[in-house]
Each structure stands twice: as C-alpha cells, then as structure tokens.
C-alpha cells in the first residue's frame, strides 16, 4: 500500500540543480564529460525516485551522526557555515566557489578541526576500508580547508567521517593540509571496529587540479564542445548512474579488434592464473547449485517455507515479479524497443608450447 508510494513521491519533488563549480564536483574521479553536459544544459534523464530517496537518507544519516557527536565530550559548532573556497570562471565571468561545511569539532585538548561527514553504501565503504582512498572527498576537504583558513587560520586538519549506511560502521580519516604546497597528508585512519593505522601518505595538488578541471569545463561550455569519454564503454558504474548515459553513448561503436600480437610474460602469468581460478571455481559453483537444489527440495517435500534447527534457519522467500513477455507485444513495438548491445567475451586456452617440453639434463650430478 505504502511501499509503492514513496519513490514516485520523491520523483515528483525532484529538482534540477543548474551546474555551478562546487566542492562536491571537484574530485579527480568525477567524469568531466558529465559535468560539461550539465554545464551546457543538455537534457538529463529524470532521476529515479529510489535514487532520490537514497540521497535523502544520506543527509539524515549525517544528522544522526552529528547528534551522537553532540552528546560526546567533543564540541561541534559552525554547522553549515558558508565558506569561500576559491575563484574560477563560470559563464564567462569570475565566479566564487562557495561551500557549506558540516561543522568544526573541538577535541578534548582544544584543537579545532573541520568535520566532513559522508554516508555511503556497504560495497564502497568496504573498498575504502580495504585501503582505497576516497579522493573525491579528499578534494572536497581541501576546498573547505582553504575556505576555513579565512575564518580561522589555525585550522589545518580535517576529520573525514564516513558511515556505512548498511551496518553503521564508521571510517575516520585525519587529514592535514599544507595549504601553500597544496599537500594533503593522510595522518591517521581509524575504523569503528578498533583498527587504526598511520599511513602518513601525501596526496599533492588536489586543489589545483580541481581549479584546472573547472576551467576545462568552462572552456568546453564556451566552445560548445565535449571532452572524450574517460571510459571504454558504458558498463562502467559511473555511466550506469549517469543521467546523460543514453545521449553520451548513442551511436558509439566499439573499435573493432583485428590485430594478433605476441603475449607478454605479464599477460601469460595472468592467463595462467585465470585458468587456475576457473578450474577451482567451476566445481564449487556446480556443487553450490546442487546444494541449493537439495535444500529447496528438502523444504518443498514438507510443504515448508522455513526450517530451523542445529543452529541454522533455511527459508524460501516467495514473491512475484512483473516482467514483460515480449512475445505478447505487437511486432512493431518489439522492433521499436530493439537495441543492440556490444558483447565482449574473453576466452583463455592453454596451447602446446611451440618449442616443446623443457629439456632436463640427461646426466644429472648427484651430490
């Protein structure tokens, strides 16, 4: 009754934000082509209601986290304070890049730091927890720290706090910013599970690169051009969530691969690993499918949807899905809906080596 109501409601309230150079789009992993589409006001696909609800959830997660911090011995202030992050050119005129910070936290020693909060889904969180750096968030922090120094020149550190929305785990990066040299140092990473590390790793030039990208976007806007696509095809996850993907990849034909080249030693090692993994995964998948069938059959013979015992619960969740049976559609509709997808399939086979097996010494010396 209500489950189907919320996403359409969110979609009805969707707003189109015009392009502006913003700290949130300053990161090196942003697709510049997408930002140029936005700056040039190309029509974008309407965001799905579910996507808008996911974004809305993130701001509520931020609210909840900040409420917890306010109950701690840390002091939190200046929430949503506007800061001036720099100057660029937009629509042919000088443009001031503005940002709104999540707040300033003061620790028990009286040290002030910028606080930036993000709430993200489980898999991206895991990637960061395993060592990938969230460079787009780092760039945003650099812009905010630039802005904050105008209000308080003593603040040169930030806490980037990332929440796993699925599991309420937290990852915290303590970042130091050397403003004159545009050098961000990852001083400390703390996971809410107690893991802690001190990478002391520098990321240099995020701020200057952001300004260069804003200038590049402005140039494309003025020249009415588009930069190249940064991805090989539309299977990249950036493209899958991009509101311009249809427009961007329309008519794109993947280059035809015609050459035969010698395999390098590195590629040969990968090919051997591929075959080894394939040989190990296939029997496991087969057994996995078989075990699944046996469990389902075990429940069904007793007309049971659930069985519990010996520390396990086995359950069959039954539901219905609506699908379109294309064969029932008139043929002209089927033709209209027809689309061609390029498919790439990799195959790796072991071949007999041209130079035959390795020769062993016919007269081995035994020590």
Full DSSP string of 300-343: HTTT-SEEEETTEEEE----------GGGS-HHHHHHT------
Q: Residue 299 and residue 140: Cα distance in Å, rounded?
A: 53
Contacting residues toward ligand SF4, per CB under 6 A:
31, 33-34, 37, 229, 231, 234, 238-239, 242, 244-245, 248
Of 29 and 168, the one with the shorter C-beta distance to ligand SF4 is: 29
Distance separating the N- and C-terminal Cα atoms of the chain: 84
3-state helix/strand/coil string of 92-148: CEEEEEEEECCEEEECCCCCEEEEEEEEECHHHHHHHHCCCCCHHHHHHHHHHHHHH
If we measure between CA atoms, which residue out of 171, 205, 201, 208 comes closest to residue 186? 201
Of 34 and 163, the one with the shorter C-beta distance to ligand SF4 is: 34
Of 37 and 214, the one with the shorter C-beta distance to ligand SF4 is: 37
Q: How far is the CB of 246 from ligand SF4 (least distance, A)?
A: 8
Of 194 and 255, the one with the shorter C-beta distance to ligand SF4 is: 255
If we measure between CA atoms, which residue out of 306, 328, 326, 301 comes closest to residue 316? 306
* Antiparallel, parallel or unpaired: β 306-309 and 201-204: unpaired
Of 133 and 231, the one with the shorter C-beta distance to ligand SF4 is: 231
Q: How far is the CB of 98 from ligand SF4 (least distance, A)?
A: 25
Of 38 and 113, the one with the shorter C-beta distance to ligand SF4 is: 38
Q: How far is the CB of 336 from ligand SF4 (least distance, A)?
A: 23
- Longest CA span, the chain: 84
Q: How far is the CB of 143 from ligand SF4 (least distance, A)?
A: 22
Q: How far is the CB of 338 from ligand SF4 (least distance, A)?
A: 21
Q: Residue 110 and residue 74: Cα distance in Å, rounded?
A: 9
Angle at 137 between CA 171 and CA 161, to 5 degrees: 25
Q: How far is the CB of 342 from ligand SF4 (least distance, A)?
A: 15
If we measure between CA atoms, which residue out of 173, 177, 176 comes closest to residue 160? 173
Strand partners, 258: none
Of 185 and 245, the one with the shorter C-beta distance to ligand SF4 is: 245
Q: How far is the CB of 31 from ligand SF4 (least distance, A)?
A: 3
Which residue blocks in 13-120 are alpha helix, DSSP H?
Answer: 32-39, 49-70
């Amino acid at each position: 009754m209500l489950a189907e109501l919320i996403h359409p409601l969110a979609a009805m309230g969707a707003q189109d934000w015009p392009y502006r150079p913003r700290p949130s789009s300053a990161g090196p992993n942003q697709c510049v082509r997408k930002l140029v589409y936005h700056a040039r006001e190309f029509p974008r696909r309407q965001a799905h209601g579910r996507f808008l609800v996911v974004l809305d959830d993130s701001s509520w997660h931020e609210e909840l986290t900040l409420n917890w911090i306010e109950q701690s011995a840390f002091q939190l202030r200046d929430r949503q304070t506007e800061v001036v992050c720099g100057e660029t050119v937009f629509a042919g005129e000088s443009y001031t890049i503005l940002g709104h910070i999540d707040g300033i936290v003061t620790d028990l020693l009286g040290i002030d730091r910028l606080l930036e909060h993000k709430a993200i889904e489980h898999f991206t969180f895991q990637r960061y927890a395993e060592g990938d750096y969230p460079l787009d968030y780092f760039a945003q922090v650099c812009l905010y720290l630039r802005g904050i120094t105008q209000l308080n020149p003593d603040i040169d550190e930030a806490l980037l706090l990332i929440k796993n929305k699925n599991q309420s785990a937290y990852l915290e990066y303590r970042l130091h910013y050397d403003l004159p040299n545009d050098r961000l140092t990852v001083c400390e990473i703390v996971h809410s599970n107690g893991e802690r590390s001190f990478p002391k790793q520098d990321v240099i030039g995020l701020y200057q690169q952001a300004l260069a990208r804003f200038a590049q976007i402005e140039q494309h806007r003025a020249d009415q051009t588009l930069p190249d696509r940064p991805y090989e095809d539309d299977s990249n996850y950036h493209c899958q969530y991009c509101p311009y993907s249809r427009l961007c990849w329309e008519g794109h034909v993947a280059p035809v691969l015609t050459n035969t080249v010698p395999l390098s030693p590195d590629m040969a090692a990968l090919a051997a690993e591929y075959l080894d993994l394939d040989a190990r995964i296939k029997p496991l998948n087969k057994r996995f499918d078989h075990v699944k069938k046996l469990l389902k059959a075990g429940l069904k013979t007793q007309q049971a949807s659930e069985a519990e015992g010996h520390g396990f619960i086995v359950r069959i969740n039954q539901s219905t899905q609506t699908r379109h049976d294309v064969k029932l559609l008139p043929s002209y509709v089927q033709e209209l809906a027809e689309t061609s997808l390029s498919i790439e399939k990799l195959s790796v086979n072991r071949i007999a080596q041209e130079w035959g097996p390795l020769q062993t010494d016919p007269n081995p010396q035994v020590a």
